[in-house]
Amino acid sequence: MIKANDPTLKSWVEVPKNSDFPIQNLPYGVFKTDYLEPVAGVAIGEYIIDMVYLNEHGYLDGLGLPIGIFNQRYLNDFISLGKPITNAVRERLSELLRHDNSQLRDNKKDRELALIHMDDAKMLVPVRIGDYTDFYSSEQHAYNVGSMFRDPENALLPNWKHLPVAYHGRASSIIPTKVPIIRPKGQTKGPDEAAPSFGPTKRLDFELEMAFIAAGKTEMGENITTADAEDHIFGFVVFNDWSARDIQAWEYVPLGPFLAKNFASSISPWIVTIEALDPFRVAGPQQDPKVLPYLEYEGNHHFDVNLEVDIKPENADALTVSRSNFQHMYWNPCQQLAHHTVNGCNINVGDVFASGTISGSSPDSYGSMLELSWMGTKSITMKDGSERKFINDQDSVIMRGFAEKDGLRIGFGEVETKVLPSL
């Protein structure tokens, strides 16, 4: 039986060259149109499949799907059905969309009503996010930041290679692509200033991250092992964890970031399932010193996903300022989830777990302006001749992620956010 990840599969839906959404991807999202309230959709080429229409017209019969499961604002209830059902839906969609399957292809009415062009849809945050955790799992990023604020010899704190460092962030301010943010205000204090002052951040920054979406609920007192962790991971998104660096520098001691981070995080609208990323698994780094037994794992749980960041000034062309990769992670998602729950912390479907800023070894692969400008000591020249050390008002930051192998490209779409002036 041909499986959904087969690289030879072709669809009767036209898929442009270098599209993020071939038939092997089939990511889930939530969208609305001028005539549709928010419903679940799946991306293929330049189209969104209306999952409500397919389910109500018999195309998904026999999969055990409850009535109305897709006619909801969030995907949480669908994800809660469990991997056997959600994976079966993906396989059925793959069958329906294959070039030689006439069931939907040759039903003109159903085909036209079930497929909606992306230009006619507005994408929304795909899950109801109860909790959000931000890790700090890229060694190069941690080394860069530690070198700036301490010194290269003590860049990594003593605990960094023994556990996945993280903090709990604000879930209510996670927004989808195309939703602008307002430059945040807060207290700042320069090293030569006698007292803090209040005002808009002068060092607004992006953070290039990936995040995974929880697929299973656990109870307080339970823990998830690295061996079982992927059963609790539905899929991944590209994640921009905005940061106000000058506010952060003043407020983060002793408890960590607060106003510097809670004002906004931007999430890509499509959840690429972990199953779709199977062909792009790679080995992780050798971890030295040896981790404690509960953090040990077997197999490949890192993913080769290319990541890019563009800055687009208003009325000017965009410039790609960073090219990184998700595989630049010291701690993988299975270790992150095992550590998160080892103390009995419960998780819920739809919870978001972000990777932390992902930086590679070369300066053009750093995942934040803090690193690219090396704490404001260097400038990046835009295509219009203007310079950036951090993000200006009216700039748009555009992030994208895609995996490529043997002619197959699996992508996440773009997450684009424009910065508006402080109120």
Same domain, 151 and 65: no
Same domain, 93 and 177: no
Same domain, 140 and 120: no
Same domain, 224 and 93: no
Give pLDDT, residue 2: 80
| Residue 15 within any structural domain of the chain | no
pLDDT at 295 over 70: yes
Give pLDDT, residue 271: 98
Q: How many CB atoms lie within 10 A of CB 117?
A: 11
| Residue 90 within any structural domain of the chain | yes
Q: Please give the torsion angle defined by the CA atoms of residues 171, 175, 180 and 183, in that order, rounded to the nearest 10 degrees.
A: 10
Percent of the chain with pLDDT over 90: 98
**Residue 171 pLDDT class (50, 70, 90 cuts):** very high
Of 124, 157, 190, the one marking the end of a domain is: 124
| Residue 306 within any structural domain of the chain | yes
Beta strands (DSSP E) in 159-267 are 166-168, 174-176, 181-182, 185-188, 197-200, 204-205, 208-214, 233-240, 243-244, 265-267
Of 89, 124, 159, the one marking the end of a domain is: 124
| Residue 22 within any structural domain of the chain | no
Length of the chain as a residue count: 423
Same domain, 317 and 362: yes
Give pLDDT, residue 28: 98
Report, as an integer, the average pLDDT of 210-227.
Answer: 98
pLDDT at 321 over 90: yes
Task: Please state, in angstroms and rounded to a whole number, the distance separating the CA atoms of residues 263 and 126.
Answer: 19
| Residue 6 within any structural domain of the chain | no
Report, as an integer, the average pLDDT of 257-263.
Answer: 97
Q: Residue 261 gets which letter from DSSP?
A: T
Of 124, 140, 164, the one marking the end of a domain is: 124
Q: How many CB atoms lie within 10 A of CB 294?
A: 15
**Residue 184 pLDDT class (50, 70, 90 cuts):** very high
| Choice among 57, 117, 141, 162 that is catalytic | 141
Same domain, 136 and 120: no
Same domain, 328 and 347: yes
Same domain, 146 and 118: no
| Residue 233 within any structural domain of the chain | yes
Report, as an integer, the average pLDDT of 34-57.
Answer: 97
Q: What is the CATH number of the domain that holds 75?
A: 2.30.30.230
Q: What is the CATH number of the domain that holds 376?
A: 3.90.850.10
Same domain, 231 and 353: yes
Report, as an integer, the average pLDDT of 62-78.
Answer: 97
Report the number of distinct structural domains present in the chain. 2
Give pLDDT, residue 1: 66
| Residue 86 within any structural domain of the chain | yes
Active site residue 141: yes
Task: Please state, in angstroms and rounded to a whole number, the distance separating the CA atoms of residues 246 and 366.
Answer: 19
Q: What is the pTM of this model?
A: 0.97
Average pLDDT, the chain: 97
Same domain, 95 and 156: no
Same domain, 175 and 288: yes
Percent of the chain with pLDDT over 70: 100
| Residue 3 within any structural domain of the chain | no
**Residue 341 pLDDT class (50, 70, 90 cuts):** very high
Give pLDDT, residue 114: 98
**Domain around 79:** 28-124
Same domain, 156 and 82: no
**Residue 106 pLDDT class (50, 70, 90 cuts):** very high
Closest CA to 400 of 174, 233, 206: 206
